[in-house]
Structure 1
């Protein structure tokens, strides 16, 4: 594993930290792959009864995909990219142990999706969550699937097409944040919640989580098949590369001006 993923244990709770704070914990292939390894390791450890996933720093749980990686994709690499996400999402969905997501700052795009694949989420008033992929030319496929399962079609269309981010209060109102506390208490609250879940009967926990996975499996498989088809068409058109270059150039100009 690289240092992009950190693991520690707190009694029966395993804590995983996304560790690219200099780029707001944006995803690249190495971090995706290492996160799967981390989940594998803690899933196999009988002394661990619950998990927490968080992000390093105080600005972002995750800013989503690292555009410096995807801006050079062609149709074939885009299909491989979908397969990488399938591996991570399947690993998360098949965990037998409860997963609490400790949110800090922004959870955008694929980081938003990863947060929603957790079982419960703890956040603070500065959290913002959403699916802004359209703003950088990325078509959304897995995002709408998980959002529709949790918040319905109308709000999914809103978030996907506008790319807006929801503030913490809206996230709590629609059930995406389960506990809202001051920022300096997020990890404390997450540990308390994970400890409570770790004390539950493990067979019942495993079977409940298994049933939730079964209930949503058909939609998950459909979104992955659609993802291959849609991402191949999108990247073959050249539009994502153009939009990402434009997005990155504007972001660089803002940093220079600041």
Structure 2
């Protein structure tokens, strides 16, 4: 694994799949300002590479992908510095959400607060059998903010209220039943479960998949009528590449 910066290790295989590991952030991969900025910089660097097919976001340890934001740093903040801190974290979440290729969250162990906000900004979440999730901010005197706003779209308003207002944690089977994660791996099989998702993504046209992710982002913000209209142009633009002809012909040939 190569180090892109002080907090980000990167490995890449021949398929264009990148593993981005959060490093030097403690056993639980806690996000302080330095780690937040380094991770955002790494994602922005990778985003400029059109040959990246997928990113697996992981922690350097098996205790967590991201345990949460750095409470020791936050305890020193005032209003202005608090807004600057949370703006940095929002920028990281947006770098994940707007990354052109799919981003898979590899989630062993704990995922709390700011860590869960980064995770919900990912496209697909794969949890370890022992994973635990929660939004404990109200217990330390702050509300859950920024990309916690994505939670109602994933789990509904009632479950979002429960997570944000009780600060209780849930286990991996509950997270799967709620739709907070997309898969739960058996014990010792987290990487195998992530690889199954990677294989499914690689079976798709890379340009089509990037177009699909971009549309999904737009659909989050647009009324239904506008969502339908913008998708027509995306469909047409896909024929500017050779993917439809090539992949449709492969499909036709398999049916013969």
**Where do residues 1-258 of structure 1 align in structure 2 (5 Å cutoff)?**
2-11=5-14, 12-20=16-24, 22-217=26-221
Unaligned runs of 5+ in 2: 223-256
- Please list every run of 5 or more consecutive structure 1 residues that lacks an aligned counterpart in the other structure: 219-258
RMSD: 1.7
Tell me the CA shift for residue 143 of structure 1: 4.7
| Misfit runs of 4+, over 4 Å | none
Q: CA deviation at 1:78?
A: 1.2
Higher helix fraction: Structure 1 or Structure 2? Answer: 1
Bigger Cα Rg:
2
TM-score by length of 2: 0.79
Question: How far 1:96 moved relative to its partner?
Answer: 1.4
Q: After alignment, is 192-201 or 25-34 more displaced?
A: 192-201
CA shift, 1:192, in A, is 3.3
Higher relative CO (Cα under 8 Å, sequence separation at least 6) belongs to 1
Moved more, 150-159 or 3-12: 3-12
CA distance in 1, matches of 2:158, 2:147: 14
Distance 1:82 1:142, change over 3 A: same
* TM-score in terms of structure 1 length: 0.79
- 2 CA distance for matches of 1:146 and 1:189? 24
